[in-house]
Amino acid sequence: MLRESYREELDDINACLVGMANTVGSAMSTATTALLDADVALADLVIAGDARIDAVRESIEERCFTLLARQQPVATDLRTITTAMRIVGDLERMGDLAEHIAKVARMRFPEHAVPQEVRPVFLEAGHVAENLVAKAGTVIAKRDIAAAVELEADDDVMDRLHAQLFRELLSDDWPHGIESAIDVTLLGRYYERFADHAVSVARRVVYLVTGEHSMAPAAG
């Protein structure tokens, strides 16, 4: 592989990662809509779409492996490729979490899995999730450290939403029973883990660019 096409391949892999982040963002948005609207057709779209996300992951991993095998890169290029291999794992897991959300929506259809009291929380969690993955895409595309910092703040918002969910569940007037409490607990965890993985993506890029670990590890 010529030097220019090696560089092009690295850039193309990066572009594929950004595309994968966009696909995962769409899956998450659609899953949130399916959840809030009890829309089983949208839920099924997300569930069916996860196989494509997994396929993109395999493709990117193989391309990274091929570069390692044929080009035997060192130094920054090597770290770029190993970073890409880790990021693709985070993005795939984010796709799985969107699928889990869609499956809850589907399981409870035609009922709404999310009771009225906590609709606003999940609506905002969906928005925060969209912001998180959009910023993760920007961080990957442009090595944008400022976006990585904003992403950490969005993760804090998601933590507060998650805490708010628990307060609602544990309040004296949760009238919806155990099954609903279980659903809301698991859904809350899926959004929280989605945020954790977005933070993980951003931190890997920051470490690649700066050599610094920005903050404490993403808990969760």
Residues near a copy of itself (CB under 8 A) are 54, 65, 68-69, 72, 74-75, 78-79, 82, 85-86, 89, 96, 166, 169-170, 174, 178-179, 181-182, 185-186, 189, 217, 220
Shortest gap between Cβ of 116 and a copy of itself (angstroms)? 17
Per the CB < 8 A criterion, the answer to whether 126 and 98 are in contact is no
Q: Which is nearer to a copy of itself, 109 or 130 (CB)?
A: 109
| CA 111 vs CA 40, 51, 107: distances in Å | 10, 26, 9
Task: Indicate the SS3 state at residue 114.
Answer: coil
Q: In which residue are the tokens 């933070």 written?
A: 199
In whole angstroms, give the CA distance from residue 162 to residue 164.
Answer: 5
Q: Which is nearer to a copy of itself, 68 or 141 (CB)?
A: 68
Q: Which of 134, 124, 121, 122 is nearest to 91 (CA)?
A: 134
Q: Which is nearer to a copy of itself, 41 or 74 (CB)?
A: 74
What would the two tokens of residue 194 be? 């989605």
Shortest gap between Cβ of 100 and a copy of itself (angstroms)? 8
Q: Which is nearer to a copy of itself, 60 or 147 (CB)?
A: 60
Per the CB < 8 A criterion, the answer to whether 47 and 103 are in contact is yes
Shortest gap between Cβ of 146 and a copy of itself (angstroms)? 26
Shortest gap between Cβ of 150 and a copy of itself (angstroms)? 25
